[in-house]
A and B are shown apart, each in its own frame.
Chain A
């Protein structure tokens, strides 16, 4: 085991996979940083430091610094994937899917199906997502709500550095297109990461981060830590919470959720995206359909409100699900009678 930050787990995994397989290539805006400037290549090295050192190690053919052209980046990833390469494309902010969505949604996601299963499309699209930096409505969004509903895509949302390592390696070696969502408020978080160069975490297998008998809390990403804080607080009162980290929203580990709810009878989903047609609504519906008889209380989803993400510190704090709001929701389902 080695201790490393979430962002370092990203870059080290990319480097290891590029070393292992020469077909793995990276592309994105400023992933080299400094191209065409007096400072020269790698003067910056990507705003999230998730590509540091790759250019020097693997060269311009395999680490492709692109203009600000998100449609062309995603389209190029699609073309590379159809041509035998395994591209890892970076979208600097997940919010920028707006300008590139056709290539993700109508192209990458659908090639295999539209072409009758006769091709594979091994592309990874990495995106930095999430609130917490007061970056306002166009640089803070959690976009899994949009992408999870698209058949043909797999959607990964790692919470810990170890999960970044294991899930990103799986993503890069996967032959289907994978959306890899990195929470920007987690980039600086450290954790133990296995050294095994083939350490992989399969998609669709949730992680139980806290175990308890009284209530099931489902989340992933930044808010998973908030859920753990609530679980730890309630544990001191003798209340046990199952805290399930989904790891991937597509595929979804339905079994882990249903097995837990069958024991606890109570469900709170904590989701960073707005409430309508959300992951929270989806999982509440799943449980209502498939575990209705086990339920002791109506399932609850904790989401931000149906508003764009505001800028000011007070507003963003009020917008995001907080430890207090999650605790209140958990106590509400516990108190239902």
Chain B
């Protein structure tokens, strides 16, 4: 199905916002001004955007430690996110969550998560809630090839099948669980989707560096899961991680020329640009204009983050309980 010009521009812009958000963090983190551990999503933008462009605010997602892309794609405010990562009390989570715990439940974003594999069970609960409500809403959990080896993910897949939860397991295979290769760590045929299939789910596969592959695959997945009574499904997207596991990771595990090659051949933004301009759907100038606009959006978010209020010692004590 052909996407409208507006939809194409929007998808590209969403991916570009994630890309530049992460590229800028990669630079700013090296100054030492940003505290803590940060895991960048660069390279995987087509997955977050290709999935979330189908979702409404009432659909839920549960994310990972590498969550900035999912948050932005689901509609979290760019400035609120940048402020959060800079630790401001004006941040989306008042500076109490940071990079690994960004959430905006009102937007259907139930949290990035610092514990690998913790998200899948939460998405089963959200998927059961969606099933009970019967309005065709879904809950999506993003998991990497690392999280696919956690027992929580196995429990969640079985529980989703047994309870017919409206849950979708999106596996982003970026070939590295932290610093360990997918070839080593995933025992079943080097294939995550077949593992999900063995739990009794209908599964799909797609190219996670190609927005159109993700988007069209997800249309099918969502058409299936939104039908009440069908239960869960799973999809595996093969993708690439342009940076290390965390910022500061020396990445000595990469092969010679690997990063240059994936940046050249497997960049979802380059691939998108080539597809839409070759097909005459958009002009280079359209995309160049978006590139410039997005750079200014990110620059502004950093300006705001640097100027924003810092939290105080009193803030430590609030938001633990509603009442105690």
Contacts and interface: CB of A to CB of B under 8 A. Distances in A.
Nearest to A74: B121
Interface string B144-162: 0000000110011011001
A272 to B, nearest CB: 24
B113 to A, nearest CB: 8
Given A115-B93, A120-B322, A77 B125 contact: yes
Given A66-B163, A82-B105, A83-B60, A75 B125 contact: yes
A293 B159 CA distance: 56
B48 interface: no
B175 interface: no
Contacts of B121: 71-72, 74-76, 78-79, 103
Contacts of A317: none
A34 to B, nearest CB: 15
Interface in B79-127: 91-97, 101, 103-106, 110-111, 113-115, 118, 120-127
A111 B131 contact: no
A114 B128 contact: no
Nearest to B161: A67
Given A67-B159, A79-B125, A114-B96, A72 B152 contact: yes
Contact of A66 (B62, B92, B162, B322): B162
A74 B321 CA distance: 19
Contacts, number: 157
A72 B131 CA distance: 17
Given A72-B124, A76-B124, A82-B125, A25 B94 contact: no
Given A67-B158, A102-B152, A115 B103 contact: yes
Interface string A74-98: 1111111111110100000000000
B30 interface: no
Contacts of B151: 71
A97 to B, nearest CB: 15
B6 to A, nearest CB: 31
B4 interface: no
A82 B123 CA distance: 10
Given A72-B155, A113-B319, A118 B126 contact: no
A79 B94 CA distance: 22
- A interface, how many residues as a size bin? 35 or more
Contacts of B31: none
A117 B159 contact: no
A81 B127 CA distance: 12
A69 B60 CA distance: 22
Contacts of B105: 82, 115, 118-119
A194 B94 CA distance: 43
B132 interface: yes
A106 B118 contact: yes
B101 A114 contact: yes
A85 B129 CA distance: 7
Contacts of A117: 94, 318-319
A69 B93 contact: no
B130 interface: yes
A122 to B, nearest CB: 9
A79 B110 contact: yes
Contact of A84 (B96, B118, B129): B129
A197 interface: no
Contacts of B93: 114-116, 118
B125 A78 contact: yes
Nearest to B91: A116
Most chain A CB inside 10 Å of its own CB: which residue of B91, B94, B113, B321: B321
A79 B132 contact: no
Contacts of B91: 116
Contacts of B125: 75-83, 85, 87
Nearest to A121: B322
A111 B324 contact: no
Contact of B92 (A64, A111, A116, A176): A116
B29 to A, nearest CB: 21
A78 B128 CA distance: 11
B123 A79 contact: yes
15 contacts: A61-B132, A67-B158, A69-B159, A76-B159, A79-B126, A79-B139, A83-B125, A107-B115, A113-B96, A114-B93, A114-B97, A115-B93, A115-B101, A115-B111, A119-B103
Given A76-B124, A107-B115, A116-B93, 12 more contacts: A66-B163, A75-B125, A76-B125, A79-B128, A79-B139, A102-B152, A115-B96, A116-B94, A117-B319, A118-B93, A118-B103, A152-B320
Interface of A: 25, 61-62, 64, 66-67, 69, 71-85, 87, 102-103, 106-107, 111-120, 151-152, 154, 174-176, 204, 251
Interface of B: 60, 62, 91-97, 101, 103-106, 110-111, 113-115, 118, 120-132, 139, 151-152, 155-156, 158-159, 162-163, 318-324
